[in-house]
Amino acid sequence: MLNREEKEFESEGLLEQAAARPSDSQGSYTLLRSGLFISIFLNIAFASFTIWHCRGSHSSYDRGFATDLGAARGAIELIQHDFGGGVELDEDGNFLTDSRGSEYVGPPSPAVDQAWDYLERGMNIDLHGQEGAEVQTFRWPETGASFTGLEVFHSLHCLNKLRQALYPDAYGHAFSESHGPMRKDHIGHCLNHLRQSIQCHSDLTPMEWKRVGNKLILSTKTPHTCRDFNKIHQWALGRMTDYNGLPTVMNGTLEIVA
């Protein structure tokens, strides 16, 4: 069934209608204009949302994700880094290892321990005021600061634990507690943690195979796009937890078990 207006529209020519019933024409013009305004508004709103979603919410590797610590996002800088420490094959068929990163590997020594200690420095940090406001974490009763840290340091700590587990003679004591978090299944925790971290970041850099004589060898010296760890490390080093200012930790009232 057609309503009254539609019937009238059918029976009248457009010009005739416009001339005869100016108020109706005004009405459709207003409607058209409102529609246009609504459409423009929605377009602007959608564009703003898209821009906010891409930039404001920091949903990218270089700007940071919603789950990244907001206060640390400013420390993100992308770099291209050729991975070091790869195994290479010379024309005579000898295997060589690229020496970059050698300070972190090899038999236990004070120098290797120091290299890892430095990587782990800045794992525990205190965030004061606005910097710590967003973090759901423990706050020190003395200072009100948020006790936190960046996941990258926890992963490095776990990798160091696995390294130590390879040398029980040198580091056996680190795993000898029967009840603390350093008991043997800490190794399982670290394996699973690092597995998830690697899967989570899913590096899509292609593997490059090189032919040397009749051998195909993986060349790992390829450029990767990375967050500059040194920048992030400096950011964390500037916020390290100062336990001396925390009597509850110093006098044993609170014990950090990880």
Ligand X SMILES: *[C@@H]1O[C@H](CO)[C@@H](O)[C@H](O)[C@H]1NC(C)=O
Amino acid at 148: T
Amino acid at 150: L
- Please answer whether residues 121 and 240 qualify as being in contact, where contact means their C-beta atoms are separated by less than 8 angstroms: yes
* Residue 245 near ligand X by CB under 6 A: no
CB atoms within 10 A of CB 148: 21
Binds ligand X (CB under 6 A): choice among 248, 255, 256, 257? 248
Interface segment toward ligand X; rule CB under 6 A; list 103-111, 155-163, 218-226, 248-256: 248-256
Q: What is the dihedral of CA 101, 106, 108, 112, to 10 degrees?
A: -10
Q: What are the angstrom distances between the C-alpha of 44 and each of 50, 53, 58, 214?
A: 10, 14, 20, 61
Tell me how far, at minimum, the Cβ of 148 lies from ligand X, in Å: 21
Interface segment toward ligand X; rule CB under 6 A; list 89-97, 120-128, 180-188, 244-252: 244-252
Binds ligand X (CB under 6 A): choice among 130, 214, 244, 251? 251
- Report the candidate in 83, 81, 79, 84 with the shortest Cα–Cα distance to residue 99: 84
Residue with tokens 């609170």: 254
* Residue 144 near ligand X by CB under 6 A: no
Q: What angle do CA 61, 65, 70 make, to 5 degrees?
A: 115
Nearer Cβ to ligand X, position 136 or 251? 251
Beta strand residue intervals within the chain, DSSP E? 78-82, 87-89, 95-97, 125-127, 146-148, 208-212, 215-219, 223-227
Count of residues in the chain: 258
Nearer Cβ to ligand X, position 142 or 208? 142
Binds ligand X (CB under 6 A): choice among 247, 256, 257, 258? 247
Nearer Cβ to ligand X, position 15 or 257? 257
Q: Give the three-class secondary structure for 248.
A: helix
Tell me how far, at minimum, the Cβ of 249 lies from ligand X, in Å: 9
Tell me how far, at minimum, the Cβ of 257 lies from ligand X, in Å: 18
Tokens of 39: 């459409």
User: Per-residue x/- marks for ligand X, 199-238, CB under 6 A?
Assistant: ----------------------------------------
- Please answer whether residues 226 and 81 qualify as being in contact, where contact means their C-beta atoms are separated by less than 8 angstroms: yes
Query: For ligand X, how many residues bind (rule: CB under 6 A)?
Result: 4
Interface segment toward ligand X; rule CB under 6 A; list 48-56, 104-112, 180-188, 243-251: 243-251
* Residue 253 near ligand X by CB under 6 A: yes
The residues of the shown chain that bind ligand X, judged by CB under 6 A, are 247-248, 251, 253
